[in-house]
Structure 1
Amino acid sequence: MKKDIILSGVGGQGILSIATVIGKAALDEGLHIKQAEVHGMSQRGGDVQSNLRISSDRIASDLIPQGAADIIISLEPMEALRYLPWLSTEGWVITNTVPLINIPNYPDTKALEGELGALPHVVAIDVDAIAKTAASPRAANIVLLGAAAPFLGIDAGKLEAGIRAIFARKGEQVVETNLAAFRAGYEYAQKQAR
């Protein structure tokens, strides 16, 4: 088993929480992981990106070469497109459709939708709306994790256990909210991937 994953978004969206949950679940499955994070100007709403490599074999490097990523998981559509050069030809893009317009020359949203729609393997999901309906607006990142779960090669139960472990210190209500968000994203992706 080998998965090379690029996680991207804007500072404060919860990309590193997604990486932490996936990493915990992978370790619980006895897999090797390597992670490299690029925070950019995350405290000022800048881009955040993380390389997460998971394998049943040892991993030599924590950086994913261009054209080798199996999955891009992005909480922001422009950030998903930014990392397309790293995506393999058979790779999947799992992205939020709602832009976080944090720069004056942000691209036209219809153009972004068109570029995403032209990709051969994409799950484009309004995680903000699903989070509001199923759990809490603050759990949008975990909705995205749920949408990516069918493509990770990690048992969904292990990812749920990772959510429990990562959020346990915040109390049972926060854990349950995040589990509801994960399950809503997972169900959405199951319908889209058919």
Structure 2
Amino acid sequence: MKKDIILSGVGGQGILSIATVIGRAALEEGLQIKQAEVHGMSQRGGDVQSNLRISSSRIDSDLIPRGGADLIISLEPMEALRYLPWLAADGWVITNTVPFVNIPNYPDAEALQRELASLPHVVALDVDSLAKAAASPRSANMVLLGAAAPFLGLEAGKFEQGIRAIFARKGDAVVEMNLAAFRAGYEQAKKQIR
């Protein structure tokens, strides 16, 4: 088993929480992981990117080569498109469709949606609305994780265990909110890929 994942978004959206849950689930399965340095964290609203590599065998480098990513998981559509050169030909993009307009020359939202729709393997969904309907707007990152889960090669229960472990210190209500968000994203992705 091997999965090379690029996580992207904007500072403050919860990219690190997604990486932590995936990492815990992989370790629970006895897999090896490596994660590259996350960039852009010094500024809330700045771009954030991380390489996460999971494998059943030794991983020599924590950086994913261009054309080598199995997945791009992004909380922001422009950031998803930014990393397309790293995506393998048969790779999938799992992304939020709602722009986080943080720069003056942000691209036209409709143009972004057209470009996403033209990709051969994409699950694009409004994670913000799904999070609000299922649990809380603050759990949009867990909706996105749920949408990516069918592509990660691990059973959904492992991610739920990771969510419980990571959010336990914040109380049962926060754990349940994040589980509900994860499940909403998971169900929505399964509908899109049927």
- Superposition RMSD in Å: 0.7
Deviations 1:94-128 (A, max 9, x none): 00000000000000111100100000000000000
Q: Check conservation: 1:69, 1:91, Cα contact below 8 A.
A: yes
Match of 2:26 in 1: 26
* Residues 123, 193 of structure 2: 8 Å contact kept: yes
User: Structure 1 vs Structure 2: percent identity of aligned residues?
Assistant: 82
Contact residue 9 and residue 48 of structure 1 kept, 8 A: yes
Q: Which runs of 5+ in 2 are unaligned?
A: none
Deviation at 1:42, TM superposition (A): 4.5
Following superposition, the deviation at residue 39 of structure 1 comes to 2.4
Measure, in 2, the Cα distance between the counterparts of 1:72 and 1:52: 10
Taking the aligned partners of 1:192 and 1:130, their CA distance within structure 2 comes to: 14
| Contact 1:74/1:96 (8 A) holds in 2 | yes
In 2: Cα distance, 1:29 partner to 1:41 partner: 29
Distance in 2 separating the partners of 1:149 and 1:21 = 11
* 8 Å contact kept, 1:77–1:95: yes
Q: Contact (CA 8 Å) 1:45, 1:102: kept in 2 or not?
A: yes
1:5–1:73 Cα contact (<8 Å) kept: yes
Aligned to 2:131: 131
Q: State whether residues 10 and 42 of structure 1, in contact with CA within 8 Å, keep that contact through their aligned partners in structure 2.
A: no
Displacement of 1:43 in angstroms is 2.2
Shift of 1:40: 1.6
Distance 2:108 2:158 in 1: 38
Deviation, 1:72, is 0.1
Q: What TM-score, normalized to structure 2?
A: 0.99
Q: Is the aligned partner of 1:62 residue 2:76? A: no
Match in the other structure for 2:4: 4
Between the aligned partners of 1:86 and 1:42, the Cα distance in structure 2 is 24
What is the letter of the counterpart of residue 61 of structure 2? S
**What is the DSSP-based 3-state SS (H/G/I as helix, E as strand, rest coil) of the residue aligned with 1:53?**
strand
TM-score, normalising length from structure 1? 0.99
- Matched pairs, number: 194
Map of 2:46 onto structure 1: 46
3-state DSSP of counterpart to 2:36: strand
Mapped contact 2:143–2:182 kept (Cα < 8 A): yes
Counterpart residue number, 1:158: 158
Q: Could you tell me how far apart the structure 1 residues matched to 2:19 and 2:86 are?
A: 18
Q: Does 1:83 align with 2:83?
A: yes
Segments of 4+ moved more than 4 angstroms: none
